[in-house]
Amino acid sequence: MLAAGNPYGSRTLVVERDEDSSVAYLCSPDGAVHGAVWLANHRPAPAVVDLARINAGLPPLMPRPNTLHPGGRRPLGQLSPLWFEEGDGVALYEDDDLLAVIPGWADMNRGMPGYARDAVGESPFAWALSEALEGLRPRISNARSYWRWRHSEGSWPSFQEFVMGHLDRVLGPAGRYWDASGDRLPTVGITERPPAHDRGFTVLSTVGMSCQRMPTVEQWIDKPDAYARIELAVATREDPRDAALLLVWLSQYPWHSVTWLGHGHTAKWYHEPATFPLGPQYSGVLMQANPPHMPDMSGFAFGGEAVRWLWLSPTTTATEAQHP
């Protein structure tokens, strides 16, 4: 009935229906289901959960006490998704009416399926959207504004110029610039800042990671606004092209893997140790905000939120990205 991927290729919204009911699923590329929310019954609701239907792998029917339409309702109209800026959640519209929301924190294993317009109370199949709208409405409004801006002509060049201007002020003139994203969103570049003033080393920085918030931050941090936007940086006295490969590796990672990067996180090199850009004695990187003896990168904000620069340093004991 509907299958729509997010802009980063990391989640797909799938809506399935039969003659009896409609359900939306939020899936990863490997087919794993991260959220599943009932949307509507198309025939009279049963008094209790129809376990035989569920065991047969069919879309569930919402029991009578938990639906606004116990007699059932007509088939769904035109469906369209609105993805959250982070790509980890989605709002689903029927025509122009908000039908359901599957947020990034939806988790079937923890009994949080998502929110549906026609649901009443909380059930394993859907929670009432009306009771969550106060918190969800700003998120949805921000998503609509963000994608309208992001798809407008000149949005990326203007953002790029904004970041480069900040880096000019804190690091000095730019050297080379590389594209790190290819044809996939998010768009990210790498800027080289040769030694300048009293700095005897080259600094490389991503340009574009902070143009969209990272996924899942609110699941780990009480005040995510201060941590949701980052850029990465690395300092080197060697060939900058080698260090740049670290930024190419991690610059799209949060959105493609639906996770976040923060101070104290580590990431293990994804390939053979012998190919690590800074030498085979290393196995990954440690990320640090404001490490000693590095330039102060503060003072840049986007979307009303401060951007943090995380500096990469090689480590011999890195594990896959961990959350504190």
For every residue of 274-313, DSSP letters joined together read GG-TT-TT--EEEEEES-TTS------EETTEE-EEEEEE
User: Residue 323 falls within a domain, yes or no?
Assistant: no
**161 and 292, same domain (yes or no):** yes
Residue 105 in any domain: the answer is yes
User: pLDDT tens digits, residue range 251-278?
Assistant: 999 999 999 999 999 999 988 888 888 8
Amino acid 142: pLDDT: 96
- Positions of E strands within 29-181: 33-41, 79-83, 90-94, 97-102, 115-116, 127-128, 177-179
Residues 34 and 168 in one domain: no
- The span from the CA of 155 to the CA of 140, in Å, is 20
Is pTM beyond 0.75? Reply is: yes
**What domain range includes position 77?**
2-150
Instruction: Collect the ranges in the chain with pLDDT lower than 50.
Output: 318-324
As a dihedral over the C-alpha atoms of residue 181, residue 182, residue 187, residue 192, rounded to 10 degrees, the angle is 60
Residue 222: what pLDDT?
Answer: 83
Quote the number of domains for the chain.
Answer: 2
Q: Which residues of 280-305 are buried (b: 16+ CB within 10 A; e: fewer)?
A: eebbbbbbbbebeebbebeebeebee
Q: Residue 318: its pLDDT value, please?
A: 42
Taking only the tens place, the pLDDT of each residue in 271-305 is 888 888 888 899 999 999 999 999 999 999 999 99
50 with 66, same domain: the answer is yes
d(CA 102, CA 126): 10
DSSP code at position 199: B
Count of CB atoms within 10 A of residue 163's CB? Answer: 22
Are 8 and 124 within one domain?
yes
Single out the residue in 112, 135, 150 at which a domain terminates: 150
- Which one of 150, 167, 189 terminates a domain? 150
Q: List the structure tokens of 177.
A: 């610039």
Distance (Å, rounded) from C-alpha 300 to C-alpha 43?
54
